[in-house]
Amino acid sequence: MTHAASSPNIFDATEANFQSEVLDASFKYPVVVDLWATWCGPCKTLGPLLEKVIDSFNGTVKLAKIDVDKEQALAAAFGVRSIPTVVLIRDGQPVDGFGGAQPEGAIREFLARHVQPAAAPAEAETVPAPVVEETPEQAIARIQQDIAAAPDKAELKLDLAVAQMQAGNADAAGAELDALPANLASDDRARRLRGQLEFARALKGAPAASELRARIARDGKDFAARDLLGVRLLIDGDAAAGLDEFLAILKADRHWNEGQARKRLVAAFNVLDDEELVGNYRRRMSSLLF
């Protein structure tokens, strides 16, 4: 019996659950895919090490094990030519990987490029302090004082970036975000803030929605106009219409402007709170890309 049977961080991936448990889930946390077979000697060496390392990351990354003999369609989708093959999926797309058995240190180094281990859960819960309501400006002042008192506490800088954005100080928020250390740059709050900044900056000096629609009516391949219209619709609260504009670009030319339509979609997914809407558009994006 594999470790997948006893760990919540490790599971067997099949055609039936691949979309939900691997592609959709990869928008929440990285998913490492281990393509293996029972007859493969190196797989027997690599598999237990992968499982051990994944579990040590305390749920910040998951391991999907694919038996290439049982799941030949999935193996073909990954273009597997030899096993073991390991692929890391993030935001619905393969972003890194390696082939062959690797020592534990190399596996940890591979994962550390994409995710940091979460702290093990505490044995006893502490009672949270009462939440004190404050304005964004008050939050900025308080956090700046905290940073002055503890300048090496990097997470305070992320708190400050979020407060600056809530106060409407996009440039200041961007400066704080850019200065974050690597382990915080991939934090969920940082990713959400990065998306908000991207949309705010995109609309600086942008034409009105009516002008953008007129440009698209004249030329359906005016992807620059369609991209800006999508951003405007998102900012104005019509999320589905905005996402539709990005999907239209992706369907017509997935490589336009270095894959900007996919980047816009991923940024929007990080910003939007409607889980049902986001899940629907994640699946539609994945069907065009994978």
DSSP 196-214: HHHHHHHTTTPPPHHHHHH
pLDDT tens across the length of the chain (290 residues): 344 446 889 999 999 999 999 999 999 899 999 999 999 999 999 999 999 999 999 889 999 999 999 999 999 999 888 999 999 999 889 999 999 999 888 899 899 888 876 655 555 455 555 555 788 888 899 999 998 988 888 888 888 888 888 787 888 888 888 888 877 777 778 877 887 888 888 888 889 999 999 999 999 999 999 999 999 998 888 999 999 999 999 999 999 999 999 999 988 988 888 888 999 999 999 888 87
Q: Supply the pLDDT for residue 186.
A: 72
- Supply φ then ψ for residue 199, to 5 degrees: -70, -40
Domain ranges of the chain: 3-112, 136-202, 209-289
**Side-chain-facing half-sphere of 178: CA atoms under 13 Å:** 8
d(CA 181, CA 282): 28
Q: What angle do CA 75, 78, 82 make, to 5 degrees?
A: 65
Contact residues for 31 (Cβ-Cβ < 8 A; gap 6+)? 21, 22, 25, 61, 62, 63, 64, 88, 89, 90
What is the second-level CATH architecture of the domain 3-112?
3-Layer(aba) Sandwich (3.40)
Q: Supply the pLDDT for residue 130.
A: 59
CA nearest 104: which of 151, 51, 148, 142? Answer: 51
d(CA 198, CA 250): 18
Element (H, E) at 227: helix 223-235
- Supply φ then ψ for residue 67, to 5 degrees: -80, 110
d(CA 80, CA 77): 8
d(CA 93, CA 89): 5
Torsion sign, CA atoms 125, 130, 134, 139: negative
CA nearest 32: which of 110, 102, 104, 101? Answer: 110
Region for residue 205 given its phi and psi (left: phi exceeds 0; alpha: psi -120 to 50; beta: otherwise): left
Longest dimension (CA), the chain: 64
d(CA 256, CA 248): 11
What is the second-level CATH architecture of the domain 209-289?
Alpha Horseshoe (1.25)
Paired strand residues for 87: 33, 97
- Supply φ then ψ for residue 87, to 5 degrees: -130, 135
Residue 24: DSSP 8-state? I
Residues marked as catalytic? 40, 43
Paired strand residues for 10: 63
- Supply φ then ψ for residue 246, to 5 degrees: -65, -40
| The two structure tokens encoding residue 287 | 């069907």
